[in-house]
Amino acid sequence: MFSILKPLLFNLDPEAAHDLAIKSLKFNILPGKLFEVEDEKMLNIKVIGNTFSNPIGLAAGFDKSAEVYNSLLKLGFGFVEVGTVTPLKQLGNPKPRVFRLEEDSALINRLGFNNDGIDIIKKRIKSLKKTGILGINIGPNKTTKDQKNDFSLGLKNFFDLANYITIIISSPNTKGLRYFHNQ
């Protein structure tokens, strides 16, 4: 299916293509059986007290504001990690901020933690009910004065909603964040 859509998507700006993918997945119209595999149970793994349907997951960065994680789980991912979620809504870096490297089959992502913020995302996750393993990636706002407090807010708000939480301390887009590597 991707081979059919690729020429259309690659004619779009990469960030517009990403936004189109999110909007399309919100319809959640694909039947769950479409991606079912014979003897799929053999792929189950137990990690951190959770049974993952398979070890292939989608890392944070695609579903930044937890809008389509159930649709992504239906596509066959064993887990989906949303975010990076910051305490306050954040628009991210100025555009352009996503670049295709077609010859390398890669993307450069300099989005900068754009997301809807803890309050909206927490309400969304509560209302959408997760249908599989959900990870939540948390980080500080770019202009925060207290990064440790931002991490604490993320943990307090999501500890009972996520199967696991990832604390991001390596983004080059947030000044001083790599300081935590030495802690």
pLDDT the model gives residue 85: 98
Which residue out of 24, 53, 65, 171 is catalytically annotated? 171
What burial class does residue 2 get, using C-beta atoms within 10 Å of its C-beta: 0-12 exposed, 13-18 middle, 19+ buried?
A: exposed
pLDDT the model gives residue 53: 81
Q: What is the pLDDT along the chain (183 residues), one digit of tens a residue?
A: 567 767 776 778 888 888 888 898 888 776 666 666 676 777 778 888 888 888 889 999 999 999 999 999 988 899 999 989 999 999 988 999 888 888 888 888 888 899 999 999 999 999 988 889 999 999 999 899 998 999 999 999 999 999 999 998 877 667 666 666 666
Alpha-helix runs per DSSP H in 37-101: 69-74
CA distances, 181 to each of 65, 85, 87, 155, 177 (Å): 26, 20, 21, 19, 8
CA-wise closest residue to 151 among 105, 118, 175, 102: 118
SS3 (DSSP) at 38: coil
pTM of the full structure: 0.86
Query: What CATH number is given to the structural domain containing 49?
Result: 3.20.20.70
pLDDT the model gives residue 16: 85
Give the CA count within 13 Å in the CB-facing half-sphere of 88. Answer: 10
pLDDT the model gives residue 47: 81
Find where tokens 């959900």 sit: 134
Q: Which domain holds residue 7?
A: 2-182
Q: Looking at the 3D structure of the chain, how many domains does it have? A: 1
Is 105 an active-site residue?
no
